[in-house]
Amino acid sequence: MHELLERLGRGDTRILEMCGRVHKAWTDFFTELETADTGTISARLGFFQPTVEKIFESKTLGQTMMAWTAFAALYDTKSGWGSNQGRARELIAAFASSNCSAEVKEEARAAAISYELDRSPVAAKQEFRR
């Protein structure tokens, strides 16, 4: 998050383009895995991490932004989760059991809390693993 804020503060407008590209990548990811179970999504997240890092042109920024942009691709600030709520809850477990870096998993926990997904009955049963 530090790198993101620093770059935004310097007026790095490429961040907007990167966010647009990663949003499209997540939309494609979720469309392709629409019928996939949590285990499959978890496995694919590990392979998807380098793609996100490449989009953000930085390993640290990519790791920071990966989970946040995943949840953001499913959420609408006006209507909430809508039909994506189940997928968002699955995503919590998928990140926790994925081969993603510890940094990505930490950000996934933070994003789940921020989006109040940690208060859902499904999330309460999930154990976040480090």
**Which of the residue ranges 39-53, 64-78, 113-127 would you say has the lowest mean pLDDT?**
113-127
Question: What pTM does this model have?
Answer: 0.87
Reported in sequence order, the residue ranges of the chain that DSSP labels E, i.e. its strands, are: none
Residue 25 is assigned to a structural domain of this protein: yes
- The backbone torsions φ and ψ at residue 9, rounded to the nearest 5 degrees and listed phi first, read -60, -30
In a domain? residue 12: yes
Look at the chain and report how many structural domains it folds into: 1
- Are 81 and 74 spatial neighbours (Cβ–Cβ below 8 Å)? yes
State the Rg of the chain over Cα.
14
Q: Which domain holds residue 77?
A: 2-125
Residue 90 in domain: yes
Q: Are 46 and 86 in contact (CB under 8 A)?
A: no
pLDDT at residue 112, rounded to an integer: 96
Phi-psi region of 52 (alpha: psi -120 to 50; beta: other; left: phi over 0): alpha
* 19 found inside a domain: yes
Helix (H) or strand (E) holding 43: helix 38-55
Question: What is the chain's mean pLDDT, rounded?
Answer: 91
Q: What is the pLDDT of residues 61-110, one digit of tens each?
A: 999 999 999 999 999 999 999 999 999 999 999 999 999 999 999 999 99
Q: Is residue 130 part of a domain?
A: no
